[in-house]
Amino acid sequence: MAELGERSVAPAGPQGSYARKATGLVREVSPFSTFVFNMAGQPTAIFLAISIFFTLGFFPGGSIWLGFAMALVAALVICVCYGLFASAIPRSGGDYVLVGRVTHPVIGLISSFFWTSGVILSIAFVALAFVTVALGPSLTAVGLVSESSSLVNAGEDIAGSQGWQFGIGAALIVLSAILLGGGWRWTTRIMNGFWVVMMLGLGTVFLVLLFKSHDGFVNSFNQFAQSTTGEADTYGSVIANAKKEGVDTSPAFSLDNFWPTWAAICSLSLYAWLSLYISGEVRRARDTTQMKMMSLASTVHIAIAVILAVLFFARFGHDFFIAINSLGESYPFAAPPYYTFLTSIAGGSTLLAWWLFITFAIAYPLLILPNITIAVRTFFAWALDGLLPSRFARVSSRTHAPNYAIGLTVVLSVLVLWWAVSNEEGFLKVLFEAVLLQAITMILLGISAVLLPYRRPEVWRASATTQRFLEIPIIAIAGAMVAVILAGIFFIYMHYPDLGIDKGHFFRDCAIIFGASLLTFFVARTARKRQGVDVDKLAAEIPPE
Amino acid sequence: MPKRRQKQPITRLFYAGDVHGSRVCWKKFVNAAAHYPADALVMGGDLTGKALVPIVREGDGSYVARVIGERRVAHTAEELDEMQRAISTNGMYPLIVDPAEARALAESSERRDEAFEEALLDELRLWVGFADERLAGTDTRAYVIPGNDDPWSVDAVLESGTSVVACDEQVRMLGPHELVSFGYSNRTPWQTPRELDEEEIYSRLHRLVDQLEAPRQAIFNIHVPPYESSLDIAFEVDEDLRYVIKGGRPHEVPTGSRAVRQIIEETEPLLSLHGHIHESKGVTKIGRTVAINPGSDYGSGHLDGCLVHLEPDRVVNHYLVSG
């Protein structure tokens, strides 16, 4: 609206056009909120805690540095591809709309089923991890730092009890859904606030470690640990015990361990493009702003991770940091060695421990909100296309929130949470299966981007960039690269059992999802046909010529 | 035993609005009749584009323009055609000028007004011609009204059509239903060509409704949505056309017409179709009336619309579509 502010035809603006006085389309989500939405899809705090903890322990010599660099390359390729795709077809509904519009509605629905299944699994994972990774261990860590046995016990009870896991996890899902039900404005406002708090927490970690010397940390750690281990040099014994357990604390680079390290880093670093699902509400959706916000979010995410990881190794000590993340039975503390715990020890302050706990825990609702939003938008889009009952496309007249779609998301997520809680195989498997299911959708999106200039040439020609390289449209090149990268990650997950994928289980799930998507499509099509409506045509583009 | 409902004849209509100069959206609107299919097409106003993009003919024979921020150069006739299509797909009018004319446009608001008028009328003539050609030999008619953004000069072009029925401020028959059409809006901060005070809107709509023989079976095609209907939510704009910020964010307000709401509540037509507020897409009920605003995203080349199936006394089903 702002660019239409003149009383008659206005002079050319930066877009190179003249605008006359007319009412205009306004999109709600600002570039900053778009950036935050994309950052929220992969909270850096969770990434640092889980990825480093996991990769250092399981894949020695895998080189997290090369992993970070390669993950950034992969993330930027994805952001360019999906950002250009979103600017060509700026519609809310994400992969369902984009894949369906470019290929065929049924392929769009298959893509969407895989993505939504992954999203529902992710919601369950985040809700569970909120209890087992954030609340429980952080309370224990605060208890250890403040020498409060009741907090230590409370943390252990919460993290170890299935009842608490399900109860608190389900409450987090329901509260997030209620927030979403309050309207999109409130949701983005809260998300921005959570993101700022999480970043303040990471900033605190940075400052504490920046002004703490390595020797200073060793002293603080030994002092802190003495009451637990009774040893004067627990720092040294952690390294020694790790070596006794067979851990190589200065491993040489291993290409064989690099690939799973890269895949594990990618599992929480390739999602800075989730604003694709709200493109219909993003301001300046037709130009390259969204692509830039996606790329910026990826770069900031990896840059923060690299800076903090450098500090972790420098201040905690390279051998110690690998040792403490790899220790098995001889690990001396009740709280896992997350950076928040070690930084709290470095700071030696109960207040700091509480602050880091809060800023770390807040990353979980921050991650749940975009996931719930995506699931809700997808159900809403299915209902609009007649694939779900029309009530799922109804919105509240007061908040404009699609309450039925939100309710469906909550029910499914809580059911999967129950499965995740009672699944003895461990919650990381939930995450990795979610990653792989979503990889299938991301590959389909890449292939659709390759096809866009050829199957929808008018849309592509009118998009923000029609640049070519060697006569091939940039978006097609980026799409092909995305498909290859994701197929590579898929292969790595299949090849390395330590990444936790049970092939038989996974392919069975894929078959169920594929079958369910086809069944939904054909049942809905038959039902609508009886009402005189062709579902294929509802979802298809009207021929312009 | 409960009585089985007798099968009634169904009227299928396709409604869209706010295409704002997007040629591809207009073509899709016309082709929607065969695509879905639909017995009648209803266009809810705001046909004309908002922006003019000069394509500057350079001395070396190339053509240069900025399209959505990207500098594009055309060296061949095919590339020039592609550039023009990209501009019109985005709902803007391409205008080929030499450097001197480009300077004149930059310096003179009168010259810009003239160029805009010429461009939009030329484009609209093409549109009406396309609809007449495409719908010739069928019973399908496109009931078209201008919206508040459309200059008065478009009326004559719309009236020149054969399959295009210009029906602003008229009552027409659409199958067994009477169609009431009204393109004005209430006052906006932009002071667009077709705006009226609420009292005047009510008075003019009342005159139309008085002509109805079966008001409860009627269809309203009114550009502006009813007030506080969830179909009319937009950001509040002050007199200087800046967003009103409250709590650090743009403030949302209902911007629809109170008069339109009142006339819907009093008349209780079967269906009420609206546009105007592109971002307030949705379906709601006001009393027994199903009210729909399918929104608009003309700039992406997608036509947002709705397909409605009607029996004489009820809305059988409705789908918001994006084709």
Distance from CA of B42 to the nearest CA of A (A): 16
Q: Check CB contact under 8 Å for A395 and B282.
A: yes
In single-letter form, the type of residue at position B38 comes to: A
- Residue A169: the pLDDT is 92
pTM of the model: 0.74
Residues 6+ apart with CB under 8 A from A303: none
Q: Check CB contact under 8 Å for B297 and A28.
A: no
Percent of chain A with pLDDT over 90: 27
Distance from CA of A191 to the nearest CA of B (A): 14
Rounded to whole angstroms, how far apart are CA atoms A113 and B135? 39
- Work out the average pLDDT over A413-434: 78
Query: What's the Cα-to-Cα distance from B157 to each of A9, A544, B15, B128, B154, rounded to whole Å?
Result: 22, 22, 21, 8, 5
B171, B178, B123: which is closest to B150 by C-alpha? Answer: B123
- Residue A4: the pLDDT is 28
In single-letter form, the type of residue at position A66 comes to: L
Residue range of the domain that includes A196: 2-539
- Residue A15: the pLDDT is 45
**A283 pLDDT band (50/70/90 cuts)?**
low
Rounded to whole angstroms, how far apart are CA atoms A135 and A21? 55
Q: Check CB contact under 8 Å for A22 and B90.
A: no
Q: Which residues of A touch B66 (CB under 8 A)?
A: 15-17
At B166 the three-state DSSP class reads strand
Chain A interface, best mutation among B15, B319, B320, by max A CB count within 10 A: B319
Rounded to whole angstroms, how far apart are CA atoms A84 and A294? 11
Is the pLDDT confidence value at B8 over 90?
A: no
**B216 pLDDT band (50/70/90 cuts)?**
very high
- Residue A7: the pLDDT is 34
Is the pLDDT confidence value at A79 over 80?
A: yes
Query: How many C-beta neighbours within 10 Å does residue A101 have?
Result: 25
- Residue B240: the pLDDT is 63
Report the DSSP beta bridge partners of residue B53.
Answer: B94
- Work out the average pLDDT over B258-271: 95
Q: Check CB contact under 8 Å for A461 and B113.
A: no
- Residue B132: the pLDDT is 94
Q: Which residues of B touch A88 (CB under 8 A)?
A: 300
Distance from CA of B205 to the nearest CA of A (A): 22
**A27 pLDDT band (50/70/90 cuts)?**
very low
pLDDT (tens digit per residue) in A495-524: 888 887 888 888 998 999 999 999 988 888
What chain A residue is nearest to B107 in terms of C-alpha separation? A11
- Residue A2: the pLDDT is 28
- Work out the average pLDDT over A167-191: 84
Q: Check CB contact under 8 Å for A11 and B106.
A: yes
Rounded to whole angstroms, how far apart are CA atoms A125 and A160? 16
- Work out the average pLDDT over A88-101: 80
Query: How many C-beta neighbours within 10 Å does residue A526 have?
Result: 10
Q: Which residues of A touch B297 (CB under 8 A)?
A: 25, 90-91, 280
Distance from CA of A385 to the nearest CA of B (A): 7
Rounded to whole angstroms, how far apart are CA atoms A327 and A340? 18
- Residue B165: the pLDDT is 94
Report the DSSP beta bridge partners of residue B14.
Answer: B41, B307
* Segments of A89-163 assigned E as strands: none
Compute the count of residue pairs across chains A and B with CB atoms less than 8 Å apart: 195
Crossing angle (nearest 10°) for helices A64-88 and A427-455: 40
> A117 is written with which tokens?
């299944």
Q: What is the CATH number of the domain that holds A322?
A: 1.20.1740.10
* Number of folded domains that form chain A: 1
Q: Are B10 and B311 in contact (CB under 8 A)?
A: yes
> A55 versus A354: which is more confidently predicted?
A354
In single-letter form, the type of residue at position B138 comes to: T
> A381 is written with which tokens?
């889009």
Percent of chain B with pLDDT over 70: 92
- Work out the average pLDDT over A216-234: 87
Output the average pLDDT for chain A.
83
- Work out the average pLDDT over B288-304: 85
pLDDT (tens digit per residue) in A51-78: 777 787 788 888 889 999 999 999 999 9
What chain A residue is nearest to B23 in terms of C-alpha separation? A544
Q: Which of A7-21, A343-357, A425-439 has the weakest average pLDDT?
A: A7-21
Q: Check CB contact under 8 Å for A461 and B86.
A: yes
Q: Which residues of B touch A461 (CB under 8 A)?
A: 82, 85-86, 89
Structural Rg of chain A based on CA atoms:
24
Is the pLDDT confidence value at A8 over 50?
A: no
Q: How far apart are the first and last CA of chain B?
A: 43
Distance from CA of B249 to the nearest CA of A (A): 8
Q: How far apart are the first and last CA of chain A?
A: 31
Distance from CA of B202 to the nearest CA of A (A): 22
- Residue A90: the pLDDT is 75
Rounded to whole angstroms, how far apart are CA atoms A136 and A125? 15
- Residue B185: the pLDDT is 92
DSSP code, position A448: H
What chain A residue is nearest to B320 in terms of C-alpha separation? A384
Q: Check CB contact under 8 Å for B190 and A465.
A: no
- Burial (CB count <10 Å: 0-12, 13-18, 19+), residue A161: middle
Q: Check CB contact under 8 Å for A25 and B237.
A: no
- Residue A29: the pLDDT is 66
At A472 the three-state DSSP class reads strand
Q: Check CB contact under 8 Å for A540 and B67.
A: no
Q: Check CB contact under 8 Å for A459 and B301.
A: yes
Partner-chain residue, chosen from B27, B188, B237, that has the shortest CB–CB distance to A544: B27
Q: Are A286 and A83 in contact (CB under 8 A)?
A: no
Q: Which of A3-12, B99-108, B208-217 has the weakest average pLDDT?
A: A3-12
What chain B residue is nearest to A289 in terms of C-alpha separation? B69
* Residue A545 belongs to a domain: no
Is the pLDDT confidence value at B289 over 80?
A: yes
DSSP code, position A276: G
Output the average pLDDT for chain B.
87
* Residue A387 belongs to a domain: yes
* Residue A544 belongs to a domain: no
Is the pLDDT confidence value at A536 over 80?
A: no
Distance from CA of B219 to the nearest CA of A (A): 21
- Residue A376: the pLDDT is 86
> B58 is written with which tokens?
């350079």
Chain A interface, best mutation among B81, B85, B297, by max A CB count within 10 A: B297
What sign does the CA torsion over A533, A523, A371, A300 have? negative
Partner-chain residue, chosen from A11, A280, A532, that has the shortest CB–CB distance to B297: A280
Partner-chain residue, chosen from B46, B299, B323, that has the shortest CB–CB distance to A286: B299
Distance from CA of B211 to the nearest CA of A (A): 31
Return the H-helix or E-strand segment holding A300: helix A289-316
The most confident of the ranges A173-187, B159-173, B276-290 is B159-173
The owner of tokens 């009018």 is B93
- Work out the average pLDDT over A165-169: 92
Report the DSSP beta bridge partners of residue B254.
Answer: B233
> A92 is written with which tokens?
């809310």
Distance from CA of A84 to the nearest CA of B (A): 13
Is the pLDDT confidence value at A3 over 50?
A: no
Partner-chain residue, chosen from B28, B70, B249, that has the shortest CB–CB distance to A185: B249
* Residue A421 belongs to a domain: yes
In single-letter form, the type of residue at position B54 comes to: P
Q: Check CB contact under 8 Å for A19 and B51.
A: yes
Is the pLDDT confidence value at A131 over 80?
A: yes
**Distance between alpha carbon A69 and the CA centroid of its chain, in Å?**
18
Number of H helices, E strands in chain B: 7, 20
* Residue A374 belongs to a domain: yes
Domains located in chain B, CATH noted: 11-50+122-322 (3.60.21.10), 52-113 (no CATH)
Q: Check CB contact under 8 Å for B116 and A20.
A: yes
